[in-house]
Structure 1
Amino acid sequence: MANYFTDNTDLLFHFDRLKLQEVVDIAEHGYTESTDYNFAPVDYQDALDNYRKVLEIVGDITANNVAPQAAAVDEEGSHFADGKVAYAKGIQEALSLLTQAELMGFTLPRRYGGLNIPTTLYTMAIEMVSRAEASLMNLFGLQDIAETINKYGTEEQRQEFLPQFASGAATGAMALTEPDAGSDLQAVNMLAYQDDDGQWRLKGVKRFITNGNAEILLVLARSEPGTKDGRGLSLFACYGKDNVVVRRIENKLGIHGSPTCELQFNDTPAQLIGKRKFGLIKYVMDMMNGARLGVAAQGLGISQAAYDEALRYAKAREQFGKSIYAIPVITNLLMDMRVTLESDRSLLYAACHWVDLRNKLEEKVEELKAEGKDSSAQSAKLKEATRVAALLTPMAKYVLSENANRVTYDALQIHGGTGYMKEFNVERLTRDARITNIYEGTSQLQIVAATGGVINDIFAEDFTAREQKETSGSLARLADELKEMRVLFLDALKYVTDKTDKHFQSIAAKELVEIYSYLYTGWLLMDEAEEDSRKVFIARRYIIGASAKARRNWDVIKKDQFADLLHADEILI
């Protein structure tokens, strides 16, 4: 039988080279939970064995139960009648299977019914779910909502909400966007007020809410009268059954199995999560960063599915007396798609590693402070992990979602006219991919989020150390390419920063972020190529291609191709 974990040699490659011992040691509290839970690991190797078994279960379910129903889910879509939303039959069955397998509380602590598995492994599961049926990810992949309550809620709130998530009794939704406040969440106007009994209540409308029919909602609302920016917003949890009306579900281009709802809150009773005024500036930003990793994995899963479809079709389709797979321009396109898949996977799981490290070091530092112990060493490591995660999260979301659109486009092109027909899966995958570089922050917002880390060149020491490392053979030539690329980046960066013009920095940000992503990913692939000869081809093709794109970006910055923006009104009107 097929298995989306064990059949994927590259995903297995990344699993086998996980370096999460510090993360797991903290998460498992010295492996003491094995005395209370017979399924808890007794050491790091035991934990890895457990993770492998869980991912094999996900791989089995997604390949053999979820993927075969993906086309039917897309055709049926979500149903809306009399104010009630119903999932497509295939989505209901998939959620039932995932619940039976106890996979709906992936990262939650065991005391609430969860599996206590790190984000990196959860992201691997999201990739497999997305490969099988992209819209299912929007239900399975919203476990960051439960994580937010776990991290910032009270113990009473954890006891109330988290077991519902872990058992599959409840799914969640992030109710953030409003009709007049899309990406600009500081403009949120939903009212949060306390009644005469001190009960928080919510009043207003939310729009474009993924899985808005969920049982438990996390809602961003304005709790401070008279404020107009993010400092007046707080985060609340409420139940969808309590005075929340689903006004409509959207008729969308893709991900039809995931209902996108417009919600009306009519004095809905709610609970404050964390502190007042921290809703956007801390809690939502943290929750959205988790969601962005999830969308990056969703894009990667869709890309993998599209590549599989294109490769299968190219081998089977004959033209001019031979398989089109043997036609060089098709072979070249498939190779580019494969390189994109593997380089994307390297970037994504590097980002996940740093996110896991940051999350667990935060827990460790708080634990040491509560015990009155010295936490200076862990705090220093936490500071570094926070900086790196803050850059790699938006970078991964940007790169992988843009690439998902490119890979599905090319996969459909390989299919020719047949790919445009609904009978072929690639048509659905192309539509599903389009949302990934829009929701949870558009590509343009990811560039903005990544710019600070790039301008500050936070990998400078790492890049320098890598450049000084001795390499031989073909890898030495690739190292030289990366060194030249770094010269281009530093020259472009100096040109931008010497202008001391914030507006110009914003204009040039996309080009700078892309060059930096080429450098970082290129060095990741170099590490992999030293470990596995199979990766030499991937590294060579990626780095040579990236070198050409980096030079183009340098050209755009240095040759003042942004000058026309100064006269945009004259040109565009």
Structure 2
Amino acid sequence: MIQGNYFQDNSDLQTHFDHIIDWNELVTAYEHNFEDSAKYKATNDERYAYAPSSTQEAVDYYKSIVDSLGEIMGDFVAPRSKEMDQIGLKYDSGKVTFPKAQEECYKTLKDSGLMPISISRKYGGLGLPATVQSVMCEIAARADAAFCLAYGNINIVEIMERFASDEMCNEWLPQIASGKFSAAMALTEPNYGSDLPNVQTRATQDADGTWKINGAKRFITHACGYIDSPSIILTLARTGSPESGARGLSFFLVQGKDVHVAGIEHKLGLHCSPTCEVVFENSPGILIGKTGYGLVKYSMGMMNAARLTIATQSLGIGTAAYFEAKKYASERIQFGKPIEQIPAVRKILDKMEREILATRCLVTETGRAIDLYHWKKERMLKEEGKSERDVSQDEGIRRWEKLADLFTPMSKYYASEGCVAIASDAIQIHGGSGYTEDYDVARIYRDSRITTIYEGTTQLQVVAAIGGVVSGMAPSGHLRAYAEEEMSKFSASSDLKSLWEKLEHAVQLYKGIGDGKTKDEFAFETVEIAARFVAGMLFEKSLTRVDSSQKNSRAEHSVAYNVDSLAIAEGNLVRLERASRQAAAV
């Protein structure tokens, strides 16, 4: 793997951080009058010692964290990724053993204090907005996608901070933030993958009020804990009747010491990330929030963050593949010259680069949408004492929540599918050597393949996005209003305007398909056009924020990206038009 600071050596990532992200907007939403800094001045509470007191301090604070992580990931973790992958994990009698190199990486990150990125300062975390978290996840995934999961696993407890009692948060979150515990999420069951409303693991309450969990979960990342950090497992279990569906499910904290890890999966990739099968046998559980809200509110409340995490992980994997391919192409001599000078190879490299540039625009905007609704909503609920009804009627929150609910499945689908394609192209550029384990691109490709599957397959992301696309393109829809507002901020190209027209046409054709099954079949074509339009629009908009030294090259990539999008849209419209005609003829 290429070594170096994975933030400093990525010019586009720095461009987003320094120029494209609107920090005034984001810091205002997240830091809310810099209350954490005021708490430190009033109390000298060390938990708030690094809390910023101005927008510039906030940006400097965020950047110092990202820069520190870039150094650790690029100079310490990346050189050990091959060893971690090749040695892999060992399982024996319920215990998982990690490679020595992985233990060293985990300890280094734990000691650095860079792990609790989504836990607030109140509980000993770093207190970072989703936009910054996504940058960190991308950097970590570029170094090693499997280790990235270990690095970020404790941050799933953010859901506890939102919904658990103050007493429970005060007891558990500081311990998790300090690294005393790792964390896992147990939703999936052997017979129920994405069909969560039919989860059968049961939770029953004893006379003394204690909850006991019985059942089995599968594909549970890090349920075994991590080296010297035993796990706490956030578990979805049924408290209602077997027929109660989603409304009968609740959420529990279960300690890893109270479950049996029956085995780990032997996977195509992610060799140093333990994917566990877990058996619950009268395992004590602590209820999180209220019964009956486990799926409909708590688990679903995590979806935006989870989808953004995999989108940024996908972007990191794709970035690793591109940089490795670019390096190889500059060094590999064929026909008396580096292969990067061969037009066919140059064409592949250019497409890889522009896809990464466009995807980063889409992923960054997704983080923005989450930040602009989530933190204002939390503040209104917890600090201003507003009711859920009052909050739901706030127009700003409604707008960004709708956009976040659309952009998260859209970016997860788009980034993960692109990640696999880019990793495949990296092997192609390496030729026969890329198909061997001598080069890192083989591992990168193996690791990439899971991204279109976990946290919801591409097909499920399309199902989640299509409603937002169709309703969002209505005359008063949120997507239409957003796109028109964004395009008013720059001079949109004729290609982008043409793509916008094709999106409008695609939505009308899709709406005209009366048969539900046929609609399901052609949802992808509609969502793909929408995703490429949004990414292309943000890509063009970014040209107004970069300096002159980058503008020409970036503009060339933007033009080529829109040409790709128009070609794809034309093909999709042919399919939609045929489906619409066939539906009308029935």
> TM-score, normalised on structure 1?
0.93
Tell whether the 8 Å contact from 2:317 to 2:448 is kept in structure 1 after alignment. Answer: yes
Tell whether the 8 Å contact from 2:391 to 2:397 is kept in structure 1 after alignment. Answer: no
Alignment of 1:402-417 (within 5 A): 402-417=417-432
Tell whether the 8 Å contact from 1:5 to 1:59 is kept in structure 2 after alignment. Answer: yes
CA distance in structure 2 between the aligned counterparts of 1:66 and 1:138, rounded to whole angstroms: 13
Summarize deviations over 1:157-215 as a string: whole Å, max 9, x none. Answer: 11122112211111111111101101111111001110121101100110111112131
Cα pair distance change 1:409/1:92, threshold 3 Å: same
Alignment of 1:172-571 (within 5 A): 172-214=183-225, 215-242=231-258, 244-367=259-382, 369-370=384-385, 379-456=394-471, 457=473, 458-465=478-485, 471=491, 479-532=493-546, 533=551, 534-560=553-579
Cα pair distance change 1:502/1:268, threshold 3 Å: same
Q: Which amino acid aligns with 1:130?
A: A
Tell whether the 8 Å contact from 1:296 to 1:400 is kept in structure 2 after alignment. Answer: yes
Identify the range of structure 1 (533-542 vs 364-373) with the bigger mean alpha-carbon deviation: 364-373
Tell whether the 8 Å contact from 1:310 to 1:414 is kept in structure 2 after alignment. Answer: yes
Q: Which amino acid aligns with 2:510?
A: V
Tell whether the 8 Å contact from 1:26 to 1:364 is kept in structure 2 after alignment. Answer: no
CA distance in structure 2 between the aligned counterparts of 1:466 and 1:173, rounded to whole angstroms: 39
Cα pair distance change 1:199/1:466, threshold 3 Å: closer
- The one of 26, 31, 35 equivalent to 1:28 is 31
Summarize deviations over 1:464-486 as a string: whole Å, max 9, x none. Answer: 34556673xxxx6xx21122222
Summarize deviations over 1:290-316 as a string: whole Å, max 9, x none. Answer: 121111111111111111111111111
- Where does residue 571 of structure 1 map in the other structure? none
Q: Which amino acid aligns with 1:412?
A: I
CA distance in structure 1 between the aligned counterparts of 2:289 and 2:327, rounded to whole angstroms: 50
Q: Which amino acid aligns with 2:91?
A: F
- Where does residue 132 of structure 2 map in the other structure? 121
CA distance in structure 2 between the aligned counterparts of 1:448 and 1:143, rounded to whole angstroms: 29
SS of structure 2 residue aligned to 1:192: strand
CA distance in structure 2 between the aligned counterparts of 1:335 and 1:428, rounded to whole angstroms: 22
CA distance in structure 1 between the aligned counterparts of 2:467 and 2:182, rounded to whole angstroms: 35
Q: Which amino acid aligns with 2:427?
A: L
Identify the range of structure 1 (65-74 vs 530-539) with the bigger mean alpha-carbon deviation: 530-539
Cα pair distance change 1:402/1:155, threshold 3 Å: same
- Where does residue 67 of structure 1 map in the other structure? 78
SS of structure 2 residue aligned to 1:241: helix
SS of structure 1 residue aligned to 2:544: helix
CA distance in structure 1 between the aligned counterparts of 2:404 and 2:490, rounded to whole angstroms: 28
Tell whether the 8 Å contact from 2:115 to 2:152 is kept in structure 1 after alignment. Answer: no
How far apart are residue 6 of structure 1 and its match?
1.3
Alignment of 1:88-167 (within 5 A): 88-167=99-178
Tell whether the 8 Å contact from 2:233 to 2:255 is kept in structure 1 after alignment. Answer: yes
Identify the range of structure 1 (139-148 vs 421-430) with the bigger mean alpha-carbon deviation: 139-148
Summarize deviations over 1:65-104 as a string: whole Å, max 9, x none. Answer: 0000000000111121121112222222122111111112
How far apart are residue 555 of structure 1 and its match?
0.9
- Where does residue 5 of structure 1 map in the other structure? 7
CA distance in structure 2 between the aligned counterparts of 1:381 and 1:169, rounded to whole angstroms: 39
Cα pair distance change 1:344/1:212, threshold 3 Å: same
Cα pair distance change 1:373/1:224, threshold 3 Å: closer
Q: Which amino acid aligns with 2:558?
A: A
Summarize deviations over 1:426-454 as a string: whole Å, max 9, x none. Answer: 00000000000000000000000001111
CA distance in structure 1 between the aligned counterparts of 2:133 and 2:489, rounded to whole angstroms: 33
Tell whether the 8 Å contact from 2:52 to 2:58 is kept in structure 1 after alignment. Answer: yes
SS of structure 2 residue aligned to 1:261: strand
CA distance in structure 2 between the aligned counterparts of 1:209 and 1:296, rounded to whole angstroms: 19
> TM-score, normalised on structure 2?
0.91
SS of structure 2 residue aligned to 1:80: strand
How far apart are residue 274 of structure 1 and its match?
1.2
How far apart are residue 319 of structure 1 and its match?
1.4
SS of structure 2 residue aligned to 1:370: coil
Tell whether the 8 Å contact from 1:87 to 1:258 is kept in structure 2 after alignment. Answer: no
Tell whether the 8 Å contact from 1:237 to 1:272 is kept in structure 2 after alignment. Answer: yes
Summarize deviations over 1:484-535 as a string: whole Å, max 9, x none. Answer: 2222222222122133433332221100000011111111011112233142
SS of structure 2 residue aligned to 1:492: helix
Cα pair distance change 1:372/1:349, threshold 3 Å: closer
CA distance in structure 2 between the aligned counterparts of 1:375 and 1:190, rounded to whole angstroms: 36
Identify the range of structure 1 (367-376 vs 263-272) with the bigger mean alpha-carbon deviation: 367-376
SS of structure 2 residue aligned to 1:560: helix
Tell whether the 8 Å contact from 1:238 to 1:268 is kept in structure 2 after alignment. Answer: yes
CA distance in structure 1 between the aligned counterparts of 2:490 and 2:252, rounded to whole angstroms: 54
How far apart are residue 462 of structure 1 and its match?
3.2
CA distance in structure 2 between the aligned counterparts of 1:70 and 1:259, rounded to whole angstroms: 15
Tell whether the 8 Å contact from 2:417 to 2:452 is kept in structure 1 after alignment. Answer: yes
Cα pair distance change 1:118/1:470, threshold 3 Å: closer
Q: Which amino acid aligns with 2:564?
A: G
CA distance in structure 2 between the aligned counterparts of 1:100 and 1:423, rounded to whole angstroms: 32
State the identity %: 38
SS of structure 1 residue aligned to 2:524: helix
Cα pair distance change 1:2/1:380, threshold 3 Å: same
Cα pair distance change 1:21/1:469, threshold 3 Å: closer
Cα pair distance change 1:60/1:204, threshold 3 Å: same
SS of structure 2 residue aligned to 1:85: strand
Tell whether the 8 Å contact from 1:144 to 1:287 is kept in structure 2 after alignment. Answer: no
Tell whether the 8 Å contact from 2:23 to 2:59 is kept in structure 1 after alignment. Answer: no
CA distance in structure 2 between the aligned counterparts of 1:274 and 1:210, rounded to whole angstroms: 23
CA distance in structure 2 between the aligned counterparts of 1:563 and 1:213, rounded to whole angstroms: 52
Tell whether the 8 Å contact from 1:296 to 1:397 is kept in structure 2 after alignment. Answer: yes
- Count of matched residue positions in the alignment of Structure 1 and Structure 2: 559
CA distance in structure 2 between the aligned counterparts of 1:296 and 1:351, rounded to whole angstroms: 10
SS of structure 2 residue aligned to 1:169: coil
Q: Structure 2: where are the runs of 5+ without partners?
A: 226-230
Cα pair distance change 1:536/1:192, threshold 3 Å: same
- The one of 73, 77, 92 equivalent to 1:81 is 92
CA distance in structure 2 between the aligned counterparts of 1:440 and 1:334, rounded to whole angstroms: 29
Tell whether the 8 Å contact from 1:361 to 1:378 is kept in structure 2 after alignment. Answer: no
How far apart are residue 226 of structure 1 and its match?
3.5
* 1:58 and 2:69 are equivalent in the alignment: yes
Tell whether the 8 Å contact from 1:511 to 1:553 is kept in structure 2 after alignment. Answer: yes
CA distance in structure 2 between the aligned counterparts of 1:76 and 1:376, rounded to whole angstroms: 51
